[in-house]
Each structure stands twice: as C-alpha cells, then as structure tokens.
Amino acid sequence: MDFIHLHDMEFYGYHGVLPEETKIGQRFRVNLSLAVDLAGAGRTDDLELTVNYAEAYTLVRDIVEGQPVKLIETVAERIAKAVLGGFAGKVSGCRVRVLKPDPPIPGHYRAVEVDITRGRF
C-alpha cells in the first residue's frame, strides 16, 4: 500500500470545552496520511492519478479553522470523513492525528493528541 503524508500542518482554531478556548483560540497541528495507489501516477506523471496535496491541505484547513467544536476527536472525524468523501475512488483510507500544543491544562507535556484511522479497507 502506498501513502501520501502531510506532516505538521499548523492552523489556528477555536475548538475546546473551556470558554477561553472558544474565545481566544489556539494552535492546532494536523498530520494526515492518505492510503493511495500511487503506481499509475508514478508511471505516467499524471496529477489526476493521485491526490493533489494543495487540495488536501485546503480541506484540512477549512475544517480546523472553521466551525468550532468541543473535542479534537470531532475535528479528526470531520477531517477523515471529508478526505474519504472528497477523494473517493483515490483514497482507500486515512490516518488523522490532531494535536493541541498548548491546551489550557496544568502540567508539563509537549501536546495532547488524538490519532484515528478510517477507511474502506
């Protein structure tokens, strides 16, 4: 199986349970892996036989910077659903990792993260 990976996409959004998260907002990072058969694109150099990275980035950006939700689990599910629907016929599965680098909880850690895998396997 072949994959396209978009690493460390960073956006600013207003997702969270606490009131300050929805008012002030915060950074979110997203890693996206797409299961795609890349053989045809590799042989022919034809963009139509793969996933346009710019389109995938824009899809993720629109979700993360769009309508606020409480949970990053919901953000991840929306991304997976949009990827599988938007690139139907090309993407057979996806892995979505959504990270909150600065959640408003006490303690020392680099980030909190959800990691989901969805597909038509």
Decide if 100 is catalytic: yes
Q: What is the 3-state secondary structure (H, E, C) of 88-113?
A: CCCEEEEEEEEEECCCCCCCCCCCEE
CA 46, 47, 49, 50 torsion: positive or negative? Answer: positive
Catalytic residue among 70, 81, 90, 100: 100
Active-site residue numbers?
A: 100
